[in-house]
Amino acid sequence: MAGVNDVREEGSTADTASDTSGTSDTAAVRVADLGKRYDSDRQTVQALSGVDFAVDEGEFVCIVGPSGCGKTTLFRTIAGLESPTSGEVRLSGERVDGPGTDRGMVFQEYGLFPWRTVAENVAFGLEQQGLGGEERRARVREMLDLVGLTEFADAYPKELSGGMKQRVGIARALAVDPDILLMDEPFGSVDAQTRDMLHGELLDIWGATGKTVLFVTHDVEEAVTLADRVVVMAANPGQVREVVSVDLDRPRERTDAAFAEHVERIRALIGE
């Protein structure tokens, strides 16, 4: 497979050769000329128009842009919760036509079941898959260990801080071993200090699991902290303005000149 791509890229122009992904039909995530229009009696909103990019397997890609530029719509379309009005999303070459256990989702508003313990929340997807008994318990233990919540297995969501709830959300999403982790402003409602900690933990988990991560945020510094590449969106209609590579070693320091340059560049693209 790599050999085929090598041959094809040998004779290509500098422009396409520098585009490390997006050409392959079998990219982990391929968003192809995607459009989404919401029609109601009162108004029509073109939430996405001609959105086109690809994500490699194991890559960490952030999607940033101002409020209303269609980030959540894009996220929901990749998740299979919304259907496109034009174009399509393909995962490893397969067209998305609904939700699936190949994608784990984490939302800003946690979405935990308040009547279930931490362990029971993490077990949810495994129950849906019909995994039972000791196998399920072992998988839940493994996930709680991964997010550092072993001691809170029997606690209820209301007993947890925001950061801990979000760790449960991540453990639940990863329990069924999805190929792709989809996150929509997951740390939007935790304080700055907790957010920094969660960034470190998420990067550790990403390193340990090798998942492909798509992470939506309106916070440019958060995107530069986390991503291999940042898809910068613009509004009205929602579209991709540019895809920015972040070739900086991790962990990244906000005080580094190179970090600040990336933030400035992306802010300028957004028009902040």
* Beta carbons of 263 and 224 less than 8 angstroms apart: yes
Report the residue from 72, 77, 108, 217 that binds Mg ion according to the rule CB under 5 A: 72
Of residues 12-41, those binding ligand ADP (CB under 6 A): 38
Both tokens assigned to 122: 């993490």
- From the list Mg ion, ligand ADP, none, pick the one residue 121 interacts with, judged by a Cβ distance below 5 to 8 Å according to partner type: none
Residue (22 or 68) nearer to ligand ADP, CB: 68
The reply to whether 47 sits near ligand ADP by the rule CB under 6 A is yes
Rounded CA-CA distance 107/222 in Å is 16
Rounded CA-CA distance 122/154 in Å is 11
Region from 29-37, 67-75, 119-127, 142-150 binding Mg ion, contact rule CB under 5 A = 67-75
Rounded CA-CA distance 48/235 in Å is 8
Residue (144 or 233) nearer to ligand ADP, CB: 233
CB 45 to ligand ADP: min, Å: 5
CB 172 to ligand ADP: min, Å: 22
Closest to 112 in 3D by CA, of 120, 103, 101, 100: 120
Rounded CA-CA distance 202/186 in Å is 11
CB 216 to Mg ion: min, Å: 7
Rounded CA-CA distance 105/84 in Å is 19
* Beta carbons of 161 and 194 less than 8 angstroms apart: yes
Report the residue from 73, 77, 108, 239 that binds ligand ADP according to the rule CB under 6 A: 73
Region from 71-79, 172-180, 243-251, 260-268 binding ligand ADP, contact rule CB under 6 A = 71-79
Residues of this chain that interact with Mg ion (CB under 5 A) are: 71-72
